[in-house]
Amino acid sequence: MRTSKRSSLIHLIYFSRAQLSAEPGVRARQINEIARHAQKKNEFSVITSLLIVDQGYFIQILEGERMSVQETFQRISADNRHRDVHIVEWREITKREFVTSFASAPRTPSNDALFQKANLGPMLQRGTPKASTIYSLAQALQADTMAKQGIDHLFV
Ligand SMILES: Cc1cc2nc3c(=O)[nH]c(=O)nc-3n(C[C@H](O)[C@H](O)[C@H](O)COP(=O)(O)O)c2cc1C
């Protein structure tokens, strides 16, 4: 079966404290800068990923072959644009859930309801965010972005 050949497919979820500018315009440019670079690198390594940005935290899900994810995460965790990088979950998966090499999902007025429903804030402050909560929020954010682009039919 094809799935047995993909047994080294994993996902890694981490969260960290963002070290970005307090000024929204500068912060948006800093995130764009991360995205531009990460997109190219992840395409090359066949990694799919979603980066949530909320209340001074980064929360990222990386999916791909074990070695590629490990190598990428090592670089990410050494990056001084964030600190206190903690792995929430690292496990084998049977299929990818995210469609692009790198998508960033900052909290905005238009997706605020999804963030409110997930209520990650208190868990992040305690340092114990649940992988399942992060995963559901990330899926909802991806579906929301796709729907706004008119490609929600792929996710029915
Ligand atoms: C929150 C955050 C998320 C990042 N995500 C990725 C990523 O998904 N893939 C990646 O290659 N680099 C990512 N980076 C950038 C890496 O940390 C690092 O700067 C970059 O990969 C180094 O590339 P270089 O060796 O070509 O200079 C991220 C950085 C931050 C702060």
Give the other-Cβ count within 10 Å of 38's Cβ. Answer: 22
With a cut of 70, list the residues of the chain below it in pLDDT: 1-7, 152-156
The reported pLDDT for the residue numbered 4 is 52
The reported pLDDT for the residue numbered 155 is 57
Residue nearest (by alpha carbon) to ligand 1 atom 10:
38
The reported pLDDT for the residue numbered 2 is 53
Q: Could you tell me the CATH number of the domain that includes residue 52?
A: 3.30.70.100
Residue 65: strand, helix, or coil: strand
Nearest alpha-carbon partner for 115 in 138, 97, 132? 138
How many residues are recorded in the chain? Answer: 156
Residue 31: strand, helix, or coil: helix
Residue 86 Cα to ligand 1 middle (Å): 16
The rounded distance, in Å, linking the Cα atoms of 152 and 150 is 6
Pocket residues for ligand 1 (CB within 6 Å)?
A: 34, 37-38, 41-42, 49, 51, 58, 60, 72, 75-76, 79, 81-82, 102
pTM of the model: 0.93
Domain that holds residue 99: 2-155
Residue 92 Cα to ligand 1 middle (Å): 22
In the chain, the number of structural domains is: 1
**Whose structure tokens read 């429903």?**
117
Which tens digits make up the pLDDT trace of 106-136? 999 999 999 999 999 999 999 999 999 999 9
The rounded distance, in Å, linking the Cα atoms of 5 and 99 is 20
